[in-house]
Structure 1
Amino acid sequence: MLYHEITASSLVKIDMQGNIVEPGTTNFSVNVSSFMLHSAIHAARPDIKCIIHVHTPSVLAVSSLKSGLLPLCQEAIVIGEVSHHPYLGGIFEPEERDKIGRNLGPVNKVLFLQNHGAVCCGETVEEAFYNVYNTVLACETQIKLMPIGIENLVLVSDEARKHVYEAARRAPDSVPKHTEGSDVAPATLKKERQWRIGGVEFEALMRMLDNSGFRTGYIYRHPLVKGDPPRPRNDVEVPPAVSSLGYLLEEEEMYRSG
């Protein structure tokens, strides 16, 4: 299926062996051989809930380089340490599946398959997409810089890489906006508790889809607009005199008179 053809109801639910649990609404079956790569990672890393295999030209190019992905920009750093695996195609053998799990490692979430793109993982859909997005950008940046020669490239230092990576893994150092008329000082307001890696960026794209009329049904952890508008502390601040009722009555008389 093409991406624009897929809906929630067309998705197929399967077990770790590729057997269909829920068939969805289409007549298509599951490509078991392609799923074996995903199941091998799921079996080795129970913490990973979402896996995306990327085949874009820039990612394929970097997966074919001996140097692999270089720390040239922020996008290459925020995805963390990347792993590599000499992809051979057939991974039905238990030994090959074990190698994939070992090469990915216990904490890494991006695995470059030699000459075959990259596998980007995450504990959530949002984190997996975050890793995909930054992996693609990092690879495109590296490919554009390759013609000037690797010896002319300036790599980010280990100390700077550690700082950037850790900063990308914690909630932004900010507090919610101070509401006018609120008795609570901004310094005492709590930080957002529901922050997750890639969540803010992912929700911005989901808002774009919803605003375009796709009705995703996505449950927002960071709504753009407050649920309840701020209220004044007392009624004196908004007296009845500011009502637009008089204007409405005047407009109604205009309609009646044609």
Structure 2
Amino acid sequence: MVGTTDAEPIGRAPLPVRAPLGTGVTRSVMVGVDGSDAAWLALAWAARHAAALGAELVVVGVGERVTRALVRRRAGTPLRFRRGDLGTLRSLDCATLVVGRHGEPFHPRTIGAAVASTSSTLVVTRGLPTAVRGEHGVVTAAVGGAGDSGVLLVAAETCRAFGSSVRLLHLHPDFGGAAESTTPDDRPLRRAVEFLRVVAHDLEPAVVLDRRRPHEVVAAPVGDLLVVGRGRDGGLSRIAKTALYHSSCPVLIPSQ
């Protein structure tokens, strides 16, 4: 039986630091720059992420000289700059699309517009500055939905690239009332642990079964990245919607 907690994880073991993946271009990370502070922050996050994964960074927008200056310190990161607007951003294919906390540069600046614009992996750069800079060394994978395998694969890849530890999170809120289960369901966590043993046996996850309200859980400053599934039929799950507006760290939603 996996234990429950109101805040702190159980079962954490130290994770050996792994070197970043090879520097060969295996995928692309795309970000749009519209001059807003949120978009520049998204660019900085995208540059760091692309460098760790050995991916090509594709920047769409204006101000090529400034853009190149910002990513110059990411030595070895292939950079492709495309002068264009939002239509250009929508027309290009990528593995990962990175946007600002309100969906910048998509207009109107809403998360919904960004989510609806792509079937690629989506990252919303929001949360505390320490989390955006990746200073906690923890990647949280929220499990219990239809897309758990994709969530776990992305979380494992990110942990290996950055030398981070992985934290498995399942929410079973206690809303009270006669219908509330007295025994929280820990099966999603058990399945997640077994899955990681097969695909990433070198990772030793922390395991968290949290009974607080979803917005309370995702707002707690415990990591650098929260990976959540989209939900069934391509829509957003409840935890994904909550995370996009309340998370204390960047949120990654794997591709469909």
- Please indicate the TM-score interval, normalised by the length of the shorter structure: under 0.3
- In proportion to residue count, which structure has more strand? 2
Q: TM-score under structure 2 normalisation?
A: 0.25
Larger radius of gyration: 1
- In proportion to residue count, which structure has more helix? 1
Considering Cα pairs closer than 8 Å and 6+ residues apart, tell me whether 1 or 2 has the greater RCO: 2
